[in-house]
Amino acid sequence: MFFRMLIESFVRRRSRKLLAVAAVWIGLSLVIGLLALGLDVGDKLNREMRSFGANIQLQPAEAAVDVRVGGYELVAPGRTVYLDEADLPRLKQIFWRNNILAFAPRLTTQARLAGRSVPLVGTWFNHHVLLEDADPFVTGAAEVFPYWQARGAWPMNPESCLVGAALAQELDLGPGDRVELTTDQRSTSVRIVGVLTSGKDEDEAIVAPLSVVQRLAGLPGKVAEVQISALTTPENKLAERYGRDPQSLTPAEYERWVCTPYPGSVAADIQNAVPGSSARVVRRVAETQGAVLGRIDGLMLLLGIFVLIASTLSIMGVLSSAVLERRGEVALLQAVGAHRADVLRLFLTEAVAIGLAGGVLAALTGQVLGGWLLRVIFDSASEPHGVLLILAPLLGLLIAVAASVPPVWRTVHQQAARLLRGV
């Protein structure tokens, strides 16, 4: 009889029940949508903030003293503190390989151009890094430095290069011009395919494919540093403690630190993978990203709490009034001999069914909503979050039960006689 009552209550009062399910569904869809967005927004923002440039820099471990002139590291003949270009594919074989979004090696030397010495920067452009058991990873300066703007084209072969915007203006160079670059070792003729604006030192340099610079510098297969753009988590107190004193972490904390993509732990992983290297976090970029992500996370959390409260109140309003309008029925059940627990059981089972139904629907539509928001805001697709498929029905159940218990509880403790008289 209990299930007959339950089923008939749903079948023959379906409009009321649908209204209740719809309240849970719509209310929770907003919450789940926001949660789905919140789960994705950090990742998406992180990717968006790649425009800040690399957040990890890899250098030879022995390059303790940099010799820099005008912001450029001078490569002295015979100096051996370089990294091997051949080791760089290891960056995509580390534990955090999926967090390595892009990287570009760099080798800088001085070349003679039109009778004067100019900085010559070598790097990758649209470079295919060959990986074992995986498709080639395409990366280069354009990926690591999204703020680089090339008027014209990017160099796609060893006979082409970019000229920095300031140098181009000074020497009256532009796309299509052919220039002769000379070093102490060699000389080569390259064609300018684009004018580079980076807002930094590259504006006064010739930027050419790495192989060109390696040949002119007499350093085949060598790179001076690697700029890496990695997806990281903002540093927290744990990461800060590790930064101050790695020994202060307990084994469990260290395990957590290693398994979280803090800039420091990703850098450590990189450093371990590339022989003779030293990876350091570019604090300016990492901290800016961390600060922005921290604030966005806080904002999302606050929004999520507000939406959850608003939705919960709205759902509770609908469910509570649905119970309250059945006070007469509660009183009748007691009049024909039902105990208070019997009445509570009936109404709670209904609430559980409503909460679960609304929650399951919200799990689906909430994720669709979150995906739509992500597409609108970041022009990016989202992936389903399994945790939300469990969380939404659970939330629906909790809210529905929380909304139903107080009015039923109050009703079963009221004078049934008064309720039957409609007082």
Partner 1 sequence: MNQSAVLLEYVTRAYPGGVRAVDGVNLKIALGEWVSLMGPSGSGKTTLLNLLDGLDRPTDGCVHVMGQNLLQLDVDEAATFRRENVGLIFQQFHLVSYLTAVENVMLAQYYHSMVDKQEALLALERVQLADRAHHLPSQLSGGEQQRVCIARALINDPKIILADEPTGNLDEDNADRVVKIFQRLHREGRTLVIATHDPDLGRLAQRIVCLRHGQIVEECSPDGSDAAPRATGAGASHDRDVMHVTAS
Using CB under 8 A as the criterion, which residues of the chain lie in contact with partner 1 when the complex forms?
1-2, 4-5, 8-9, 11-13, 328-329, 331-342, 412-413, 415-418, 420-422
Pairing of strands 206-209, 178-182: unpaired
Our CB check for partner 1 shows the closer of 11 and 381 to be: 11
CA dihedral defined by 190, 194, 196, 201, rounded to 10 degrees? 10
Of 403, 367, 400, nearest to 382 by C-alpha is 367
d(CA 226, CA 75) in angstroms, rounded, equals 15
Least distance in angstroms from the C-beta of 417 to partner 1: 4
| Residue 370 · residue 32 · CB < 8 Å | yes
Minimum CB–partner distance for residue 387 and partner 1 (Å): 37
d(CA 199, CA 169): 14
When the beta carbons of 8 and 255 are compared against partner 1, the nearer one is 8
Smallest separation (angstroms) from partner 1 to the CB of 421: 7
Tokens of 379: 């022009």
155: Cα separation from own chain's centroid = 30
Cβ closer to partner 1: 115 or 337? 337
Nearer to partner 1, 8 or 383 (CB): 8
Q: Which residues on adjacent β-strands are paired with residue 52?
A: none
Q: What does the alpha-carbon distance between residue 179 and residue 176 come to, in Å, rounded to a whole number? A: 10
Residue 357: CB atoms within 10 A of its CB come to 22
Q: How far is the CB of 319 from partner 1 (least distance, A)?
A: 17
Toward partner 1, which CB reaches closer, 249 or 332? 332
Residue closer to partner 1 by CB (options 166, 420) is: 420
Find the shortest distance in angstroms from Cβ 420 to partner 1: 6
DSSP 338: -
Cα Rg for the chain, rounded, in angstroms? 32
Shortest spacing between CB 4 and partner 1, in angstroms: 7
Between 17 and 385, name the residue whose CB sits nearer to partner 1.
17
CB of 240 to partner 1, least distance (A): 59
CA 327 – CA 4 distance, rounded (Å):
20
